[in-house]
A and B are shown apart, each in its own frame.
With several copies, the nearest count.
Chain A
Amino acid sequence: MSATKLAPRDQGAPDYTACLHPAMAKNYGKWVEHERIRPGVLVYTAESGDKLYTVRAGSPRTMSPTTIRKICDIADRFCDGFLRFSMRTNVEFSLTRQEDIEPLMEAIKTELGFPIGGTGASISNIAHTQGWLHCNLPATDAAGAVKAMMDDLIDEFENENFPNRVKISTSCCQINCGRHSDIAIIVQHHHAPRINHNNMQICELPKVVAICPVAAIRPSVVDGNQTVEVVDEKCMYCGACHGQCPSMEIRDADTDTLSIWVGGKGANTRSGPSLMKLAVWGLPNNPPRWPEVSDAVRTILDAYREGGKDWERVGEWIERIGWQRFFEKTGFAFTKYHIEDGPNAMWTYNRSTHVRI
């Protein structure tokens, strides 16, 4: 590369105005109404009376240039050469000619093999993380579990049969890049990190000691090497040290398990944002299709569909019926591990006599 002239730096975000469908550009800030024609298809009406149809298609997020080009081909044919991706890695094709909706949907299905849906009270695409494909920390894969789950849930993507939108995410380690969701799958470790003392980076030592939230790591010397040791009794297996220093290995293929969390919500609607909470733990890390995870998610979804009132998100439904009923209706066990510990624990206890009996 040494001969190459450097390209311009620090250009920032591309000019979006050049990327807007003409109807979007024209009616920017002047939309007045939307309606769902059918699952996966919305129509937006502008002050001008213009109508913009949008067809939402589920993507696997990770795509080859071939697939990207197929998407572009379709957008060129039906959407004046524009398209967008949604916050949940769906592809959105917008068009102004109503009569093109059917042919467009046909093209999406046959040429891309992407399902159409993810709108309204459906299950949209599952947010997921890098997993074994690219991250250095994962204890499981995320894309594989998502593919398996979505195979199972495809009807729920293509229809709008829930009390409200259902957002699902999976993460491949406890760091949880997948964020809080109505339903989230994450990993748990079950013993303290093992240390590769031969390989400890001196430069990392102070950082790795500092990052432990419970001060379980202390400097030590093994075989004359500066290294660290972990106080087993204190360690809560969080893996923060592992992220800081790869010689602290937190993962264990034999003992790592998956767990499912429910009720995370970012929307400020009604009760506002809320963190997700533990529903089921101890599911096996079972590639390639993690059937136990799909089953448990399905169990939660069925109970939610049956018990939720319109507009209640998963967490709001559980809040209303109470956790006791949640466990009754899903059949999962409530254990002492479901009870929060740590500094904020008291705030999660039932500080009233409000109980369902």
Chain B
Amino acid sequence: MAKKKDDKGTNNPGLNTPLLDELEAGPWPSFVSDLKQWSKTKPQVAQLLNQLEESYENRWNYWTGTVLNVSGYGGGVIARLSDKADKYPDLAEFHTIRIIPPPGFVYSTERLRNLADICEKHGAGILQLHGLTGDALALGFDNEGTFAAAEDLMANGWDLGGSGAALRSLQCCVGQARCEMACFDTMKTSRFLTNHYIDFLHRPEFMYKFKIKISGCANDCANAMIGSDMPIIGTWRGPMQIDHEKVAEYIEEKGVEHVIDNVITRCPTHCISLKGKELVIDDENCVRCMHCINVMHKALKPGKDQGVTICLGAKRTLKIGDTMSSVIVPFLKLETDEDFENLTDLIDRMWEFWNDNGMDHERIGEFIARVGLGTFLEGCGIEPDPRMVQSTRTSPYINFEELAPGDFEGEQTQQPKVWNREPESRESSS
């Protein structure tokens, strides 16, 4: 039963958190201190801390999951009921709302204050900036508060994030807003995809969750490669930009040995060599790993003809073990409207094949692991490309459709050899 907001904190038992208090000491900012302070404004936070104290004491958790949906949405709320609701009535319903933040986590103070105000108004007001998927997380709403907060948020230009078997809120690095490494517009791409696919984000109808993370270059500051089903990573084609004067300066300053040890020997394809004070890069073999650029970032830069590499498949370890993202599109320009259409066209086809053929709770990486990348590509109408693999196959057993007997002219002439002798097993006499 939902209680009125006004009730919160009635009969609040007061804070009793000796263990948590130990987390107030030390130089790192303490969430305990902050929440203790805040509990004076929001009495339910005292209950939260008291319950957390019990968790610390008993090394046990007291939340149970449930499902709660805002009208028109199939996700965005992580609903929790306390097992200790009798003792902590204000925790009886204590939900988190996932909110889509501005791409790149940039905020005006106006927007951020607005967020804090709304969350304070309708719930416990605790914010986590940001969750690991990339949502702004607001904790501590009861059922009514959740609904009210959602309306208020939406009235103020915010929207709910993803949860369940849906597209999840996208995450991107700061990119071109502040980083010279960025090879494309991560924020624009993030917002474009979010809005284009907002239906899939809000109403779960996939086989399972799908995460997209976007990094402006291979440094992958957005954790796309290990944290998303579909990393979109900036890159370039053709030669990188080299400022030969600055190269010479760098070598002058740091010395040849330093350059050999930190640049030459670290290139994964050994495609850099040092000729006197000049770096020579065998561009054909540069795999755009960013390392040399990172080290000599004033002298070297990504090439001018930029775009993205798209990968597919990462997830954590449940069921089949960790999957990692692997290349699905080696290079795609991402500038014109047409480029973006190419991207959504690709995503549409991949989603369709996955959702038509996947199993319940099967992420796309697991799906590919099950059906095979070859089948997946065919199903999505994507041309196989050797850059998708680290190496070709080692197993010699191949099901060649093209060479199936039906494709050969005439009848199979060779019948099984007639093996009509008893097997002999003999020993030399004596």
Contacts and interface: CB of A to CB of B under 8 A. Distances in A.
6 contacts: A63-B34, A73-B109, A137-B61, A152-B26, A335-B384, A357-B330
Nearest to B112: A72
Contacts of A196: 416-419
Given A252-B412, A266-B225, A345-B369, A355 B374 contact: no
Contacts of B322: 180, 275
Contacts of B62: 132
Interface stretch (A98-106, A221-229, A295-303, A317-325): A317-325
Interface in B307-335: 309, 311, 313, 316-327, 330-331
Given A89-B129, A281-B398, A340-B389, A11 B159 contact: yes
B403 A190 contact: yes
B223 A281 contact: no
B209 to A, nearest CB: 12
A73 B109 CA distance: 8
A71 B112 contact: yes
Contacts of B420: 199
A253 B225 contact: no
B205 interface: no
Q: Among A243, A252, A340, A353, which residue has the most Cβ atoms of chain B within 10 A?
A: A353
Given A207-B360, A311-B262, 20 more contacts: A1-B430, A7-B155, A10-B199, A13-B190, A34-B179, A63-B31, A64-B126, A68-B116, A69-B113, A147-B28, A196-B418, A248-B416, A251-B61, A268-B288, A269-B290, A282-B400, A338-B392, A341-B395, A345-B373, A356-B285
A143 B31 contact: yes
Contacts of A275: 226, 322, 324, 394
Contacts of A65: 38, 116-117, 119-120, 125, 127
A267 B194 CA distance: 24
Interface string B129-166: 11010000001000010011011111101110000000
A343 to B, nearest CB: 8
B23 A342 contact: no
B274 interface: no
Contacts of B45: 64
A175 B318 contact: yes
A335 B398 CA distance: 12
B414 interface: yes
Contacts, number: 583
Given A31-B180, A279-B392, A321-B285, A60 B28 contact: yes
Contacts of B227: 179, 266
Contacts of A20: 106, 177
Nearest to B221: A87
A236 B151 contact: no
A8 B73 CA distance: 12
Contact of A64 (B125, B288, B392, B403): B125
Interface in A73-87: 73, 75-76, 81-87
Given A6-B71, A285-B59, A64 B430 contact: no
Interface in A161-219: 174-180, 186, 188, 190-191, 193-196, 199, 201, 207, 210-211, 213
Interface stretch (B6-14, B94-102, B340-348, B350-358): B94-102
Contact of B178 (A89, A94, A252): A94
A236 B221 CA distance: 34
Given A282-B400, A285-B59, A154 B360 contact: no
A6 B70 CA distance: 10
A111 B100 CA distance: 28
A1 B429 contact: yes
Nearest to A341: B372
B16 interface: no
A60 B225 contact: no
